[in-house]
Amino acid sequence: MNAPLPLPDAVAPAYPPAAMPEEPVIPLSVEAYHALIDAGIYRSGDPFELLEGFVVRKMTKGPKHETARRKLRQALAELVTGAFFVDEQGAITTSDSEPEPDTFIVRGTFDDYSDRHAGPADVVLLAEIADSSLHRDRGQKQRIYARAEVPVYWVVNVRDQVIEVHTEPSGPTSRPKYAKQTDYRAGEEVPVVIDGQEIGKISVATIVGKAG
C-alpha cells in the first residue's frame, strides 16, 4: 500500500493539537482557513469552525441552548456600556483557531472590526452555552481560550444549571488551562468582570433556570 502523501505546508496546523478531536476533521492553518473562506469554499453560516488547527463540525444547538444564549446576551448588554460591546456567535481569531463563541464582550466599537475578526486582546469575557457541547467546551474550547489568554471564560452549563467561571489563563503552555474555576448555581449571582473591575452581576436562575 502506498504511503499517504504529506499535506502541503499551507494547510498543516502550526503544531499538533493537545488531543485529536473525536470526529472526522480537516487540518488547516488559520491562514489557509481564511483563504478557503475568501474563495467561497466555506461560507458564513456553514456548520464548521477551526479548532486547534482542524476544521470541525459545530455542535447541535437545541431550544434550551438558544434560550440561554439570548438571555445571556440581553443580560450582558444591560451592563456593558462605553468602550465595550456584546457580540454573539461571531468568530475570534487566535494563533491556531477561529472559534465562534456563543456570547462575548469585545473592546471598542463595531467599526473597529469592519476588516478583521476580534483577537484575544480584544475579548475581555466570553461564554459558551454548554448542553450537547459540554465536553468540548470544558476541554478543547477551554484549552484554546486559555492558550490565547482570554481573561474570563464562562461555561454556561445548561444541563446542570450551573455557570462555571474560569479565570487566570495559563497562556501558550504545553497544557493550557485556567488556574481557577468558580461555580455559580441557582440562587447565586455571577459577577461580570471586565479588565479586573466588576461592572455588575447576573442571576444564574435568569439564564439557566432554577435547579430541580
Q: What is the pLDDT along the chain (212 residues), one digit of tens a residue?
A: 444 434 444 444 444 444 555 555 678 888 888 888 888 887 767 788 899 989 888 887 889 999 999 999 999 999 998 899 999 988 999 999 999 999 999 999 999 999 999 999 999 999 999 988 899 999 999 999 999 999 999 999 999 999 999 999 999 999 999 999 999 999 999 999 999 999 999 999 999 975 44
Domains belonging to the chain, first-starting first, are: 63-208 (3.90.1570.10)
CA angle 116, 122, 125 (to 5 degrees): 125
DSSP string, the chain: -PPPPPPPTTTS-SS--SS--SS--EE--HHHHHHHHHTTSS-TT-SEEEETTEEEEPPP--HHHHHHHHHHHHHHHTT--SSEEEE-S--B--SS-B---SEEEEES-GGGGSSS-B-TTTEEEEEEEESTTHHHHHTHHHHHHHHTT-SEEEEEETTTTEEEEEEEE--S-SS--EEEEEEEETT-EEEEEETTEEEEEEEHHHHH----
Ramachandran angles phi, psi of 67, nearest 5°: -65, -45
